[in-house]
Homo-oligomer: A and B are copies of this chain.
Amino acid sequence: MTAPNPLFDDRLVDLLLESVADLPSLASWPAFADQSYDSYRLVLDAARRLARGPLFEAYRPMDQEPPRYEGGRVHAHPAMRRLYPLLVETGLLAAARPPEVGGLGLPLTLTSVASAYLMAGNLGAYGYLGLTAGAAHLLEAFGGDELRARLMAPLYEGRWTGTMALTEPQAGSSLADVATRARRGGPGGSYLIEGSKVFISGGDHDLAENIVHMVLARVEGAPPGVKGVSLFAVPRLRPEGGGLAPNDVQCTGLFHKMGWRGIASVALSFGEGGDCRGYLVGEENRGVAYMFQMMNEARLMVGFNGVATASVAYHEALAYARSRPQGRPPGARDPRSPQVPIVEHADVRRMLLRQKAIVEGGLGLLVAAARFADASAHAPDAAERERAALLLDLLTPVAKSFPAEYGFEANALAVQVHGGYGYTSEYLPEAWLRDQKLNSIHEGTTGIQGLDLLGRKVMAGGGAAFRALEAEVSGGLARARRAGVESAWCDEVARALGVAAALTAELGGRGLAGDVDGMLRHSADYLALLSVLLVAWQLVAQAGAALERGDALPPAFVEGKLRAARYWLSTELPRVELWAALCRGDDSYALMPADAF
């Protein structure tokens, strides 16, 4: 009997929250003045228990029996009827929101990491919670008092759940092509909604009494493109006369997914009977701008999902590698000697260390992003809030896509470490590998993240965003140096940062000169470059933090942090120069004619 899967390494999580993100220092901000780090530990502990127990236990059955579509409704796995109330009871739905809307006003950094344990335990189950929180936050930020009272409150309480309903069959990455229609003049100031949406996660289920869909639609006469898209709250059942009445929203089917099988992704039809009422959120034609709040939150959530999915698999592979005997070291070929645990083989250590670096570097990125989110909302100084907002925006596409892309590789390695058992459903790694594949696609494909990063984020504020990032990385390196991380390592990261800065300036110059096409042609390579650089920054920062607290930590843990950083610096960081050369190239693959494939 081996120990249960820890989902994350608690020592690392504690180090990240206490030292790298320095949550104890938040007590000096008015928003968190009455909070203690000890109370934060309780939140973490509760999430860890739920995740490692009931959530993890239900993961495999929920993967094997995805929700069914019957009688026009989606029926969730029976285990979800027990889990959903437990998820709501964590209080994480509104924990980071202010008391005015029923929240606890906790730092997002904390609640995100606590949620990451839930994702690692059972990401489909967590999905219901995450989407509901995002929908409620949209109503909180942009809905009027009436919408907040009628629709937002039940969401934050977990009595209802929420969705984001953007995608249509002809409009996935291209929101400019949203065609769902909204007609003014419905009863009580509502709009009449008509259209179809696809790939709506949690779009139907039997776990709560109602579902509020946050729907992008086009008001009659609106301008073409994204500037004519509005945001509506469209409940499955509309509050009417103290009760709930059908609102002409039909679930027309579900998609059979390779992963994330605990939560259904469905097709919805609005207004087939001409009586689907939508409630405008904010002003007409500003829907896409509003929705970006939820999308950005969802992107960080997908990033956390990716890290969580890679992490749980890494820990499963590590436990397997420590217990599975197979083969002997190269130097000891006597077949009568006992077989050694496979963790003794060089290549298995390579695979485990790669997973560790991806998981821990990725988690570092996400914690950094969440920390900037807290600072952008609550830092006492306005300039600091603005700076943090720029950094959050810049980190978001990286934090969304790195765990999905490199995490997929990590998940494949977890399968590989398990050998033949790895590809069987008698073991769990193949399920996590399937889960991970969705994360590079939903909430904006990796290609979209690359365009967002290079076309908008690093250039934001006339280059202020990238300069702020440079200062952050340099500050992190200086702290690591002081903590005793080898100077040569810090120099390597600093040099790569210089390469990235020069490249960014050069590409920005192309864009300013009107060659947007040339600027963006290699945005995927630029995204890879910046991801690897920022993960190096995080891993070096973690190594430094581990050295700072050295006496209080197990020496093997500190050694592991140093090795993970060193691994990344020697295997991935050198690729930065190669990607930079690709980004500069002007006769690249992107010019491959479509008929030459």
Contact = CB atoms under 8 A, between A and B. Distances in A.
Contacts of A275: none
Contacts of A560: 592, 596-597
B559 A597 contact: no
Interface in A341-393: 341, 343-354, 356
A571 B563 contact: no
Interface in A461-509: none
Contacts of A336: 224-225
Nearest to A327: B174
24 contacts: A172-B326, A174-B339, A177-B339, A199-B420, A225-B336, A226-B335, A255-B424, A256-B425, A256-B426, A258-B423, A318-B597, A346-B521, A347-B524, A349-B589, A349-B594, A350-B524, A350-B589, A415-B437, A416-B441, A423-B437, A433-B437, A563-B589, A566-B589, A570-B588
Nearest to A224: B335
Given A344-B594, A438-B423, A593-B556, A430 B258 contact: yes
A434 B597 contact: no
Given A258-B425, A430-B437, A571-B582, A420 B172 contact: yes
Interface string A499-523: 0000000000000000011001111
Contacts of A416: 440-441, 445-447
Contacts of A430: 258, 434, 437
B419 A408 contact: no
Contact of A441 (B256, B350, B420, B517): B420
Contacts of A571: 578, 582, 589
A172 B176 CA distance: 54
A578 to B, nearest CB: 5
A329 interface: yes
Interface string A550-561: 000000110110
A452 to B, nearest CB: 12
A103 interface: no
A339 B575 CA distance: 35
A345 B345 CA distance: 43
A179 to B, nearest CB: 12
Contact of A335 (B225, B335, B581): B225
A345 B517 contact: no
Contacts of A517: 329-331, 346
Contacts of A419: 172-173, 441, 445
A106 B88 CA distance: 67
Interface in A241-284: 255-259
Contacts of A176: 327-328, 335
A560 B591 CA distance: 11
A592 B349 contact: yes
Contacts of A437: 412, 415, 423, 430, 433
A350 B592 CA distance: 8
Given A257-B423, A352-B597, 13 more contacts: A170-B325, A170-B326, A225-B333, A256-B425, A258-B434, A343-B597, A345-B447, A347-B447, A349-B592, A350-B589, A422-B441, A434-B434, A556-B593
A115 B173 CA distance: 39
A326 B174 contact: yes
A585 interface: yes
A595 B556 contact: yes
Interface pairs A-B: 9 shortest CB-CB? A225-B335, A560-B596, A346-B590, A347-B447, A174-B327, A258-B430, A224-B335, A256-B425, A176-B335
Interface string A426-452: 100010011001101110011100110
Given A348-B447, A425-B258, A441-B416, A594 B516 contact: no
A574 interface: yes
Q: Interface centre among A199, A344, A347, by most B CB within 10 Å?
A: A347
A167 interface: yes
Contacts of A575: 575, 578
A142 interface: no
A328 to B, nearest CB: 8
A567 B595 contact: no
B592 A563 contact: yes
Contact of A353 (B346, B434, B556, B589): B589
Contacts of A346: 517, 520-523, 590
A549 interface: no
Contacts of A398: none
Contacts of A434: 258, 430, 434
A198 interface: yes
A41 interface: no
A400 to B, nearest CB: 14
Contacts of A581: 570, 574
A557 B596 contact: yes
Contacts of A258: 423-425, 430, 433-434
Contacts of A331: 516-517
Contacts of A82: none
A322 interface: yes
Contacts of A593: 556, 559
A199 B518 CA distance: 51
A546 to B, nearest CB: 11
Nearest to A420: B199
A445 B412 CA distance: 13
A592 B581 CA distance: 32
Contacts of A447: 345, 347-348, 351, 416
Nearest to A176: B335
